[in-house]
A and B are shown apart, each in its own frame.
Chain A
Amino acid sequence: MLEINNLSFSYPDGSRALEDINMTLPREHILAVLGESGSGKTTLLMCIGRFLQPRRGSIAIDGEDISGIEHREFRRRIGIVFQQLYLFPHLTVLENMMLAPEKVLRQPKKEARRESLDTIGRLGIGELGDKYPSQISGGQAQRAAIARALVLKPSYLLLDEPTSALDLNTTREFGRWLVELKETTTFVIVTHDVPFAEKTAGSGFLMADGRLRSVGTLPEILKAIDHHSF
């Protein structure tokens, strides 16, 4: 369980991005964080991923404050896939995936390779292992980036605007296999793509102006969105 208490964040110029956020993100769900651009949802994701330091408040995973968790241990529990993916261009898809298992988990190369191949197989890009990131499509890159994060078997995987670079078809397909994976990993999806959230997420959060506006099931959230004329 991921718990966020009284979280506030402001940027160095003093502008407030998050104001007093309280939320609980249970395991084994696909959770959507919805909101307009500038509502603070990506900032929230970066705070959970320890890329931004909150001004006030706390974030805890399974009762443990995230600020006290050792780097490698933390990254094994909470994964993150950035909007721009940031695949390593000098490495093949397979090498991208094997880097963390080998260097962080200290797995033998053979084992890391087997698990990586297994993961991309499940994501339907098994044949792309030896391709470089510049040689694959946007949808394939999206999956490769998620596959790279999944080999560390995180409890939570944070996805920042995962559909922003995908066309309609690919988005639909992406949603389908995401649902298949939710049994092992909890996905926290930050998105402004309401139809995508509706199809994939069970429950969600609505943010506006750095504040949490609504919590509930997706239909409840959609109602709230209508209410906010979103």
Chain B
Amino acid sequence: MKTNSLIRIKFGRIFFPVFPAAAALLFGLAVPPTLAGAEVFTVALTGKYPPFSFYSPAGELVGFDVDISRAIAGRLGRESEFVTTEWDGILAGLLAGKYDAIIGSMAVTPERAKKVIFSRPYYLSGAQLFIHRKDRDKIKTIADCRGRNIGVGLGETYEHFLRENYPGINTVSYKGTVDTFQDMLNRRLAGFVTDRLVGLYQVNQGEMPFVPAGPLLYQEKMAIPVTRENTVLAGEIDEALKSLQEDGTLAEIREKWFGAAARETARGSAIPPRTAAEMLLKGFGITLLVAFTSILLGFILSVPGGWILNNHPPLLYHLVRSFNDFIRGTPLLIQLFFVYFGAPQLGLVLSPIQAAIFTLTVNTSAYMAEVVRSGLMAVGPGQRKAGIALGLSPFQVFRFVVWPQAFRIALPPLMNTVVALIKDTALIAMISVGEVIREAQSIISVTYDPMKYYFIVAAMFFLVTFPLMKLAGKIEKNIRARGFTNA
């Protein structure tokens, strides 16, 4: 994502210069800054950081930071205007004059303070320990967690912080909040550490029986940076914040997003069953599309592959043999990552679905080729001789005599491979394919109800795989009835 791709959202005023915006989109350049003293107060934030700034289901930019920005703009007597931009370029955009200020939960650090002027903090947050409500008497502070499991988000700074400062604690990293919450409910974790406000919001939204314990492990002051030249604006923002605090507006906004009222908001945003069903069905459609495309392509590849493995043509045999052994001897997940992340380095940028189909095709063709090989092996050499004796060409012998028999013999184990592959598609969620498990996880991230949705997904898979397994059994019986084994 380009850091300078700006999305401008205009509030209040309809008149907005369209041409500079279009030019900005065309050339990827900045729109000339709306300077201090003008009527618009331009604020940057990411729009991806609930509950601070995010898009509501209706597509509106909402959140704690958004409300703070509006309140400040009100005190400044200006219209607020928002620029959503990527976090890693947000400070550079401010220094380049693309917006007046950043109101995006930016913590004050010495490095940042060298480049910008920070306002007074508009809220305090930091690393907070959360525990189960039932443990309130047992765990007063982080020190009571010595020797116990504490959950942290994978890749978050809290993990590093805990290891450095509390080596006696066993940190367990989780991919997402839902997983952390589930293990809190299962009592595998004594607690978890996350940003205090983010944690409060998520606990509220999930209606979880968790509470903060002890003081902040370390504190962060969130403030509003403006450029060093903008001393006037810096003063005005400080004044505005001061009056917002004094008249209780700050507390009101805080209560709206983090207080008891937030719980109501969370309930309102639950996913209706119809939407959930649509998401799951759409995801399952993608699952089946990827699975059956890969099965078809993999099977087509497995026929020459199996032939080569059975007939030992020089060189080709060793190539296919080594390749198949490698594919069958390494985890499918690693193969997926290898194709998805590795292929672009070779100049081949595959979409997640393309990468998934490619990987699953190659993977399943390796397994299928072994099945095809054993099927071909089971057809005796006499059958080939009889075909030759009748004047059939070697290809015709394969096509009309050997292959039809090998295929019938190979069908039951092939079906097992098909069933295994359909289940293996679960892994492609790891490379962002919007298949059914990923859709389920996105529902769960809102509803905090993993067991229900994982069960539904399992049932969906079973509905497809069970008839296939039954079919395999039927074919096997049929083949045995025809006495194929003495071919």
Report the interface size class on chain A. Answer: 20 to 34
Choose among A86, A99, A152 the residue that contacts B385 (Cβ–Cβ < 8 A).
A86
B484 touches A72 (CB 8 A): no
CA distance A86 to B380 in the complex (A): 9
CA distance A85 to B392 in the complex (A): 16
Q: Which of B30-38, B355-363, B396-404 contacts A (4 or more CB under 8 A)?
A: B396-404
Interface assignment of B59: CB less than 8 Å from any CB of chain A: no
In the bound complex, residues from chain B placing their C-beta under 8 Å from that of A88 are 383, 386-387, 401, 405
How far, in Å, is B375 (CB) from chain A's closest CB?
A: 12
For residues 391 through 416 of chain B, which have their beta carbon under 8 Å from a beta carbon of chain A? Answer: 391-393, 396, 400-401, 404-405, 408
How far, in Å, is A58 (CB) from chain B's closest CB?
A: 21
A84 touches B382 (CB 8 A): yes
Q: What sequence of 0s and 1s flags, for each residue 84-101 of chain A, a beta carbon within 8 Å of any chain B beta carbon?
A: 111111100000000110
In the bound complex, residues from chain A placing their C-beta under 8 Å from that of B396 are 103-104
Choose among B392, B404, B405 the residue that contacts A104 (Cβ–Cβ < 8 A).
B392
Q: Which of chain B's residues has its CB closest to A151's CB? A: B390
B386 touches A86 (CB 8 A): yes
Q: What sequence of 0s and 1s flags, for each residue 51-80 of chain A, a beta carbon within 8 Å of any chain B beta carbon?
A: 100000000000000000001101110011
Interface assignment of B483: CB less than 8 Å from any CB of chain A: yes
CA distance A133 to B487 in the complex (A): 10
CA distance A151 to B390 in the complex (A): 10
Interface assignment of A30: CB less than 8 Å from any CB of chain B: no
Interface assignment of A148: CB less than 8 Å from any CB of chain B: yes
B405 touches A90 (CB 8 A): yes
Interface assignment of B26: CB less than 8 Å from any CB of chain A: no
On whether A100 and B390 interact (CB within 8 A), knowing A88-B401, A90-B405, A134-B483, the answer reads yes
Interface assignment of A149: CB less than 8 Å from any CB of chain B: yes
B400 touches A89 (CB 8 A): no
CA distance A104 to B393 in the complex (A): 8
Interface assignment of A129: CB less than 8 Å from any CB of chain B: no
Interface assignment of A132: CB less than 8 Å from any CB of chain B: yes
Interface assignment of B315: CB less than 8 Å from any CB of chain A: no
For residues 356 through 383 of chain B, which have their beta carbon under 8 Å from a beta carbon of chain A? Answer: 380, 382-383
Q: Which of chain B's residues has its CB closest to A87's CB? A: B386
A99 touches B400 (CB 8 A): yes
Interface assignment of A82: CB less than 8 Å from any CB of chain B: yes
On whether A152 and B487 interact (CB within 8 A), knowing A86-B383, A90-B404, the answer reads no
A71 touches B393 (CB 8 A): yes
In the bound complex, residues from chain B placing their C-beta under 8 Å from that of A90 are 404-405, 408, 482, 484
A75 touches B405 (CB 8 A): no
Among A72, A80, A82, A90, residue most surrounded by chain B Cβ atoms (within 10 Å): A90
Interface residues of B (CB under 8 A from A): 380, 382-383, 385-393, 396, 400-401, 404-405, 408, 482-484, 486-487
B382 touches A149 (CB 8 A): no
B482 touches A134 (CB 8 A): yes
How far, in Å, is A46 (CB) from chain B's closest CB?
A: 9
Choose among B390, B393, B487 the residue that contacts A99 (Cβ–Cβ < 8 A).
B390
CA distance A43 to B248 in the complex (A): 107
CA distance A133 to B396 in the complex (A): 21
A89 touches B483 (CB 8 A): yes
Given contacts A49-B389, A89-B484, 16 further A-B contacts (CB under 8 A): A51-B388, A82-B382, A82-B385, A82-B386, A82-B389, A86-B380, A86-B386, A87-B386, A88-B383, A89-B405, A89-B482, A99-B392, A99-B400, A99-B401, A104-B392, A148-B390
A51 touches B482 (CB 8 A): no
A75 touches B390 (CB 8 A): yes
How far, in Å, is B412 (CB) from chain A's closest CB?
A: 15
A76 touches B386 (CB 8 A): no
How far, in Å, is A147 (CB) from chain B's closest CB?
A: 12
In the bound complex, residues from chain B placing their C-beta under 8 Å from that of A75 are 388-391
Q: How many A-B residue pairs have CB under 8 A?
A: 68
Q: Which of chain B's residues has its CB closest to A158's CB? A: B389
Interface SS of chain B: helix, strand, loop or mixed? helix
In the bound complex, residues from chain B placing their C-beta under 8 Å from that of A133 are 483
Among A89, A100, A103, residue most surrounded by chain B Cβ atoms (within 10 Å): A89
Q: List 26 A-B contacts (CB under 8 A).
A: A51-B388, A72-B393, A74-B391, A76-B391, A79-B389, A82-B382, A82-B389, A86-B383, A86-B386, A89-B484, A89-B487, A90-B482, A90-B484, A99-B392, A99-B400, A100-B390, A103-B396, A103-B400, A104-B390, A104-B391, A132-B482, A133-B483, A134-B486, A149-B389, A149-B390, A152-B391
Among B400, B408, B484, residue most surrounded by chain A Cβ atoms (within 10 Å): B400
A86 touches B482 (CB 8 A): no
How far, in Å, is A133 (CB) from chain B's closest CB?
A: 8
CA distance A115 to B391 in the complex (A): 17
B385 touches A51 (CB 8 A): yes
CA distance A139 to B244 in the complex (A): 105
In the bound complex, residues from chain A placing their C-beta under 8 Å from that of B400 are 99, 103
Q: Which of chain B's residues has its CB closest to A145's CB? A: B386
CA distance A195 to B95 in the complex (A): 110
Among A74, A134, A149, residue most surrounded by chain B Cβ atoms (within 10 Å): A134
How far, in Å, is B208 (CB) from chain A's closest CB?
A: 62
- Sorted nearest first, the 8 A-B pairs with minimum C-beta distance are A75-B391, A134-B483, A86-B386, A104-B391, A100-B390, A86-B382, A72-B391, A80-B389
CA distance A79 to B389 in the complex (A): 7
A71 touches B385 (CB 8 A): no
A71 touches B391 (CB 8 A): yes
In the bound complex, residues from chain B placing their C-beta under 8 Å from that of A89 are 405, 482-484, 486-487
Q: Which of chain B's residues has its CB closest to A134's CB? A: B483
In the bound complex, residues from chain A placing their C-beta under 8 Å from that of B391 are 71-72, 74-76, 100, 104, 152
CA distance A132 to B390 in the complex (A): 19
How far, in Å, is A186 (CB) from chain B's closest CB?
A: 16
How far, in Å, is A5 (CB) from chain B's closest CB?
A: 24
In the bound complex, residues from chain A placing their C-beta under 8 Å from that of B483 are 89, 133-134
Among B387, B391, B392, residue most surrounded by chain A Cβ atoms (within 10 Å): B391
CA distance A51 to B486 in the complex (A): 22
In the bound complex, residues from chain B placing their C-beta under 8 Å from that of A104 are 390-392, 396
Among B386, B396, B482, B483, residue most surrounded by chain A Cβ atoms (within 10 Å): B386
In the bound complex, residues from chain B placing their C-beta under 8 Å from that of A71 are 391, 393
How far, in Å, is B409 (CB) from chain A's closest CB?
A: 10
